[in-house]
Amino acid sequence: MNPTMEWIVSAGRAALIWLVQLQLIPILIWFERKVSAYMQDRTGPNRAHILGIRLAGVIHNIADVLKLFFKEDVTPPGVRKFYYLLAPFMAMMIALMTFAVIPFADTLKLGSLEIPMQVFSHNVGMLWIFAIGSFGIFGIVFAGWGANSKFSLLGGIRSSAQLISYELTLSLSVIGLIMIFGTLQLNEIVRGQGGLLFGFLPMWGIVLQPLGAVLFITSVIAETNRNPFDLPEAESEIVGYHVEYSSVKFALFFMAEYVNIVVASGVMTSLFFGGYGIPFLPTEKLIEHAQPVLLGFLAAHVILPAILLVPCRRWSKRLKQLYTDARRIEADFLSAVLVLMALGGLGGIAFFSLNPLSGYGPNIVAAIVQFATFSAKLTFFGFFFVWVRWTLPRFRYDQLMDLGWKLMLPLSLVNIFITGLVLLLVDSLK
Amino acid sequence: MKVASPKLTFWEKLYLFEVLKGMGVTLGHFWKNLFNQSAMPTVQFPEEPNPLPVRHRSRHRLTVRENGDPKCVACMCCETACPARCIHIVAEESPINAIEKRAKVFEIDLLRCVFCGYCVEACPEDAIRMDTDDVLVVGDRREDFIVDLKWLLHGGDFLERRRERAETAPVQGEPITPPTTPEEDQGWPEGTPYHRPKLPAGWQTNAKNV
């Protein structure tokens, strides 16, 4: 592969991942509002619309962004301007950078050409995540200190103390997994999880390391400043590190939080839930059975919209009773989209049954299916974060520190010890 | 005061299983509401009407006789009974001999009204009622909310009426003339931009600061 091609491929991968991360922000915010509403027996946002199309509240995100962009951007007098302006960019940039090592599909082999489906495919893998991830604290510290306000300074200190405490557990809880797979390269770890334990259990991280997984999930929630550990932000109760920020600068912090969730979901998926892998269907098998998998994929594309069409028609009737304005046609519009999707799926099935995959086809199909699997898992864990937030009450600060230092840190050390012991036993039995 | 904290079992102390239980509860609600949205208590107001209680008090109306004249005899009972002093009546002689007086001006300031219903209770003629089911009263100037005899008798869309008025009435009130005596001057710092709302012609009130 010549250097120009390599540049183009790298840039393409980076752009893909960048888009995935940024695309997930509005989806997560939508989840946050709609899921929390349904959990509390409310309806959630459903007013903002474009030509009657509301998409169950997704349009509210556009309204939010417009609002944040047109708000007055206040820079309070007396701030340390350099750090004050640097902080939001730091938070956002570092959050976006961390995702680079997470594989979103297995290495794509096109003849002699091998394209790793990671932006940054290197042996340091896990270390990159921890190293760059812990840089995120700087965004918070700069924001707290640069704003030159006592409240935001206190908020920044509180947050950085929390992040540093949980960083320890976060890194220690993964060590067991690294010991088992013997590598820091995330793609290797994901591929290792494609194997079977005792011949029937998928070797996912959560099966191999249940304690490690629980510790990791808990501390990753603390790392992303989410409930029940959301003391850094606690929007309604405590003054956090970003009090002095307004308009787009605040929006950057807000978005960085959601990008952090995407990153955390990505790491969680890759380490403990098999990454891009489908259980019982490792990459080689997937390439071998690409044709039926592709047809199944397309069949799902037909069946799912067909099933969704039933409630959509019922909803259309209700809309026509309720509204007299543009919103009447929303369900009809969505039904049309669903019908088009189903027709597209049918067309795909017809096309690929007549022209079976050949050449590099199976490899590309495998990569696409794996990317879809990864996205599905990523979205599920995004939902998981929202789910946890709207279920659990917040910890008190002393409880938070107790949990981090007195319970989770020792447990993660115990986990490493037990893992080492079991590995030694397994080795000696061989 | 000593508060007894509940004894936790071992599984409860582990916290993890309780967390999972709680997450089950929220997921149950989520699931239920996702697939049965019409069962949610939310009412999509204003598209969906929210039924008012039978004995509710909504915006006032004046009742009429068989020949279409207002029943009101301008006895001032409602104006007297009103704790918010929002009713303003100017009486005139009635052309019908059997009735002594009738209302020339009958205005209610809906911003002042506390919807207590005393005027309805005080009325000897059953001339005023609060049963219009009309709870949406919207305006952007104070005089928008002063409703007159015509509208109290015939009703209609409040917003429509507002638009009608907006065409005839000037948009903003005139600037207040600066106070002359030091007693009057108190309470308003110098240079405060204050605009007195323009009052309808013939409005008389004994309240000091309208």
Interface of B with A in 26-85 (CB under 8 A): 26-27, 29-30, 33-34, 37-38, 40-42, 44, 47-48
Size of interface A-B (CB pairs under 8 A): 40
What was the ipTM of the complex prediction?
A: 0.86
Residues A169 and A219 in one domain: yes
Residues A200 and A345 in one domain: no
Residues A210 and A243 in one domain: yes
Residues A99 and A146 in one domain: yes
In a domain, A34, yes or no: no
pLDDT tens digits, A210-233: 999 999 999 999 888 887 888 777
Tell me if chain A has a CB within 8 Å of the CB of B15.
no
Select from A340, A357, A374 the last residue of a domain: A357
Residues A308 and A252 in one domain: no
Among B22, B38, B40, beta carbon nearest to A392: B22
Which residues of chain A have a Cβ shorter than 8 Å from any chain B Cβ? 35, 38-43, 214, 318, 322-323, 387-388, 390-392
pLDDT tens digits, B18-73: 999 999 999 999 999 888 877 888 888 777 777 788 888 888 889 888 888 889 99
- Spans of all domains in chain B: 61-172
Give the residue among A263, A270, A261 at the shortest CA–CA distance from A205: A270
Residues A70 and A170 in one domain: yes
Token pair of B173 as six digits: 């009130």
Residues A345 and A425 in one domain: no
Instruction: Quickly list H helices, A51-105.
Output: 59-70, 81-98
In a domain, A368, yes or no: no
How confident is residue A53, by pLDDT bands cut at 50, 70 and 90?
A: confident
On the question of a cis peptide bond just before residue A228, with omega within 30 degrees of 0, the verdict is yes
- A100, pLDDT greater than 60: yes
Q: How far apart are CA A170 and CA A185, in angstroms?
A: 17
Is the model more confident about A415 or about A329? Answer: A415
Classify residue A101 as left (phi > 0), alpha (psi -120 to 50) or beta.
Answer: alpha
- A406, pLDDT greater than 50: yes
Give the percent of chain A with pLDDT over 70: 99
Backbone angles phi, psi at B150, to 5 degrees: -60, -45
User: pLDDT tens digits for chain B (210 residues)?
Assistant: 888 888 888 888 888 899 999 999 999 999 998 888 778 888 887 777 777 888 888 888 898 888 888 899 999 999 999 999 899 999 998 888 888 888 988 999 999 999 999 999 999 989 999 888 777 777 777 877 888 888 888 877 776 766 666 565 544 544 445 444 544 445 445 554 444 445 556 655 554 444
pLDDT tens digits, A339-389: 999 999 999 999 988 888 777 888 888 888 899 999 999 999 999 999 999
Residues A111 and A236 in one domain: yes
Q: What is the pLDDT of residue A280?
A: 84
Q: Cβ separation of B42 and A43 shorter than 8 Å?
A: yes
Residues A344 and A410 in one domain: no
Q: Cβ separation of A39 and B26 shorter than 8 Å?
A: yes
Concatenating the DSSP letter of every residue in B30-42 gives: HHHHHH-GGGSS-
CATH of domain B61-172: 3.30.70.3270
Q: HEC profile for chain A?
A: CCHHHHHHHHHHHHHHHHHHHHHHHHHHHHHHHHHHHHHCCCCCCCCCCECCECHHHCHHHHHHHHHHHHCCCCCCCCCCHHHHHHHHHHHHHHHHHHHHHCCCCCCEEECCEEECCCCCCCCCHHHHHHHHHHHHHHHHHHHHHHCCCHHHHHHHHHHHHHHHHHHHHHHHHHHHHHHHHCCCCHHHHHHHCCCEECCCEECCHHHHCHHHHHHHHHHHHHHCCCCCCCCCCCCCCCCCCCCCCCHHHHHHHHHHHHHHHHHHHHHHHHHHCCCCCECCECHHHHHHCHHHHHHHHHHHHHHHHHHHHHHHHHHHHHHHHHCCCHHHHHHHHHHHHHHHHHHHHHHHHHHHHHCCCCCCHHHHHHHHHHHHHHHHHHHHHHHHHHHHHCCCCCCCHHHHHHHHHHHHHHHHHHHHHHHHHHHHHHHHHC
Is the model more confident about B82 or about A117? Answer: B82
Q: What is the pLDDT of residue B164?
A: 65
Q: Can you tell me the mean pLDDT for A90-108? A: 88
Domain range for A338 is 293-357
- A311, pLDDT greater than 80: yes
Tell me if chain A has a CB within 8 Å of the CB of B140.
no
In a domain, A26, yes or no: no
Select from A309, A335, A357 the last residue of a domain: A357
Select from A338, A357, A376 the last residue of a domain: A357
Residues A173 and A253 in one domain: yes
Give the residue among A189, A229, A235 at the shortest CA–CA distance from A212: A189
Q: What is the pLDDT of residue B193?
A: 47
On the question of a cis peptide bond just before residue A305, with omega within 30 degrees of 0, the verdict is no
Give the residue among A385, A31, A71, A430 at the shortest CA–CA distance from A248: A71
Q: What is the Cα B51 distance to its own chain's centre?
A: 17
How far does A264 lie from chain B, in Å, by closest CA?
20
Number of domains in chain A: 2
Concatenating the DSSP letter of every residue in B137-157 gives: ---SSGGGGEE-HHHHHH---
pLDDT tens digits, A174-211: 999 999 888 888 888 888 888 787 777 888 888 888 99
| Helix A247-272 with A81-98: angle, nearest 10 deg | 30
Residues A179 and A258 in one domain: yes
Q: What is the pLDDT of residue A115?
A: 82
Residues A195 and A304 in one domain: no
Q: How far apart are CA B122 and CA B118, in angstroms?
A: 6
